[in-house]
Amino acid sequence: MAVNRMFRTCPSTGLLYHEPAEKLIRWNAVAGVVSLLIGGILALLVTSTRWQAIHLLSPDWFYLVLTAHGLNMLVFWIIFFEIAVLYFCASTLLRCRLAAPGMAWLAFVLMVAGAIVNNYSVTRGDSSVMFTSYAPMGAHPTFYLGLILFAVGALIACFVFFGTLVVARSERTYNGSVPLVTFGAVTAAIIAVFTIASGAIILIPTFLWSIGLVDYIDSLMYRTVWWAFGHSSQQINVAAHVSVWYAIAAIVFGAKPMSEKVSRTAFLLYICFLQLASAHHLLADPGLTSNWKIFNTSYAMYLAVLASMVHGLTVPGAIEVAQREKGFNNGLFEWLRKAPWGNPSFSAMFISLIGFGFLGGISGVMMGTEQLNLIIHNTIYVPGHFHATVVIGTTLAFMGLTYFLIPTLFRRQLMFPGMAKWQPYVFGLGMCGFSLFMMGAGTLGVPRRHWDISFAGNALGYEFPGTAWLMMGLMGAFGLAAIVGGTMYLLITVGSVFLGKRIETPGFAHVRAKDGVAPAPQPVAVAITSHGSNIGTAGFVAPGTFSLAIVFLVAFVLYYFVNWKYLSTVWPLS
């Protein structure tokens, strides 16, 4: 089969799209958005049930819908979109043909089939086992089969990504090192391979158990290995959305990383240490020692937290430096005030960064502290945390990237640009409130995955304090606001892609790489200095970002010790 070497150049961004890669990126992104649509409808049902003033669904439907919501959002939406991001980072950013498009299509078909099979099993009604499907609670065999098919597809897609890197290297489509964003995507893909391998180790035996070929699945073994899959899959998101932050900073501001060395080392720390975080989920379990728990859940002395704190500084720092060099050099925050707040790519990225750091990051460290976990484990604090990381962090960053991709990748004008301007604020702030009030209710002991915290008709029920009820009500209200924001995103995206005005380019053609593609620029070998000293204050090129970082640190330290104080008041345990 002849290799397709046809490319097109995007007239507005100058990006180079390989013909098959472009189709694959589009289809993976579309499959992601379809999953988001399904998950979003389910989110509405879940929220309106847990907001007990409405209490919409019956218990069997609630647990079914919650299971499907988790899977469509955490697995299908995010992984489909991530595969699109991987292909974009390898093929488009490296100006390289995608390796083995046929395999990439096979991957896509497997993933779609897996998603459909898994959703089918949940709708049967006998597989309401939640995203986590903890054995010995069993689901229908198709539940595991769907996940396995999906994972095999995703694994193939990762190897298409790695293959593309090899092709780019051998065909010399770039010189020097890969871009930082691609480096971040490599990080995500490496973590993905680890994740999928762990998933195979636990889901294949569980599948065999569900059809009767394996007798017994130990519950602690299941949780230990399953979380190497379940938590690590969320670490793919972290690496992917941090890459998207860098990409949006580069696209909107032309921002250059403050230091390639620092940012790449931070990604390297993710590869080495982030997966240890899986152990966070086992802090309240018997049978594992404190030494094991402390080492693993601190990600080996918090080296992965350090990496996130570094990215949290260097992304806005890079924006600040770019803005200051453009002349917005007055005071601490002129660069931020004069940022394009009406550009949804930027506002989505910035809210994602702040929400991920302040809400998701800090709460994640709390839950991951061995002793503090005792007062948090399995309360609604936990979904509060991961809606801050996965929804505000990952989903909102991907939404921001979508606004960039629609004109360049789908060659359609954005529909409803006025609505797009507001979408990140409605969705982002809705989700921030939603997460925050979940955490508040969790601090008061409200359990997660629970149909009725009023314990109606139960002689032994517990009466939660009024504040907890208030928090759950506010959670519901903010959740609905976020759903409005999500609906806006879906309207804009689906509308633009299918009905948006086509961007016509005169003389548009796909051209062969040899004929139409300029050679990759050669990096220069000059002496390297740090940034010019003509910006910033007191030798700090990004003083505004630094002061924001200090605000973050103060919030982090205070909240950390508040939690220890709270822990010290509960019954002594040993």
Q: Applying CB under 8 A, does 176 fall inside the site for another protein?
A: yes
Q: Give whichever of 223 and 241 is closer to another protein, judged by the CB atom.
A: 223
Contact partners, residue 26, CB within 8 Å, separation at least 6: 84, 409, 410
Selected binder of another protein within 220, 268, 272, 558 (CB under 8 A): 220
CA terminus-to-terminus distance, the chain: 67
Site for another protein, residues 76 to 105, rule: CB under 8 A? 93
Selected binder of another protein within 160, 309, 353, 441 (CB under 8 A): 309
Tokens representing 25 are 């990126």
Selected binder of another protein within 303, 332, 490, 513 (CB under 8 A): 303
Site string for another protein, 101-140 (x = CB under 8 A): ---------------------------x-x---x-xx---
How far apart CA 421 and CA 24 sit, in angstroms, is 28
Selected binder of another protein within 302, 341, 416, 559 (CB under 8 A): 302
Q: Applying CB under 8 A, does 541 fall inside the site for another protein?
A: yes
Residues 44/483, Cβ–Cβ less than 8 Å: yes
Q: Is 398 helix (H, G, I), strand (E, B) or coil?
A: helix
Q: Applying CB under 8 A, does 565 fall inside the site for another protein?
A: no
- Helix residue ranges, H only, 211-343: 219-253, 260-273, 290-297, 299-325, 334-337
Selected binder of another protein within 19, 171, 334, 370 (CB under 8 A): 370
**φ, ψ for residue 412 (rounded to 5)?**
-130, 150
Contact partners, residue 222, CB within 8 Å, separation at least 6: 134, 135, 202, 206
b/e 441-468 (16+ beta carbons within 10 angstroms → b): bbbbbbebbbbebeeeeeeeeeebeeeb
Q: How far is the CB of 92 from another protein (least distance, A)?
A: 9
Q: Applying CB under 8 A, does 165 fall inside the site for another protein?
A: no
Q: Give whichever of 108 and 556 is closer to another protein, judged by the CB atom.
A: 556
Contact segment (CB under 8 A) with another protein among 156-164, 186-194, 224-232, 557-565 equals 557-565
How many residues of this chain bind another protein (CB under 8 A)? 117
How far apart CA 567 and CA 492 sit, in angstroms, is 46
Q: Applying CB under 8 A, does 158 fall inside the site for another protein?
A: no
Count CA atoms within 13 Å of residue 429 on its CB side.
5
Q: Give whichever of 309 and 488 is closer to another protein, judged by the CB atom.
A: 309
Selected binder of another protein within 445, 473, 495, 516 (CB under 8 A): 445
Q: How far is the CB of 136 from another protein (least distance, A)?
A: 6
Residue among 359, 370, 275, 272 at smallest CA distance from 312: 359
**φ, ψ for residue 521 (rounded to 5)?**
-65, 145
Selected binder of another protein within 170, 418, 504, 568 (CB under 8 A): 568
Count the neighbouring beta carbons within 10 Å of the beta carbon of residue 218.
12
Q: Applying CB under 8 A, does 508 fall inside the site for another protein?
A: no
Q: Give whichever of 336 and 492 is closer to another protein, judged by the CB atom.
A: 336
H/E segment holding residue 44: helix 19-50
**Given the DSSP bridges, would you call strands 6-9 and 511-512 parallel, antiparallel or unpaired?**
antiparallel
Q: Applying CB under 8 A, does 290 fall inside the site for another protein?
A: yes
Site for another protein, residues 446 to 475, rule: CB under 8 A? 447-453, 455, 458-462, 464-465
How far apart CA 259 and CA 238 sit, in angstroms, is 20
Selected binder of another protein within 116, 262, 491, 511 (CB under 8 A): 262
Q: Applying CB under 8 A, does 567 fall inside the site for another protein?
A: yes
Q: Identify the residue whose tokens are 């790449």.
A: 264
How far apart CA 469 and CA 477 sit, in angstroms, is 12
How far apart CA 17 and CA 23 sit, in angstroms, is 10
How far apart CA 115 and CA 35 sit, in angstroms, is 9
Selected binder of another protein within 38, 203, 249, 401 (CB under 8 A): 249
Site for another protein, residues 372 to 401, rule: CB under 8 A? 374-379
Contact segment (CB under 8 A) with another protein among 106-114, 428-436, 510-518, 527-535 equals 527-535
Contact segment (CB under 8 A) with another protein among 28-36, 96-104, 280-288, 419-427 equals 280-288
Q: How far is the CB of 30 from another protein (least distance, A)?
A: 23
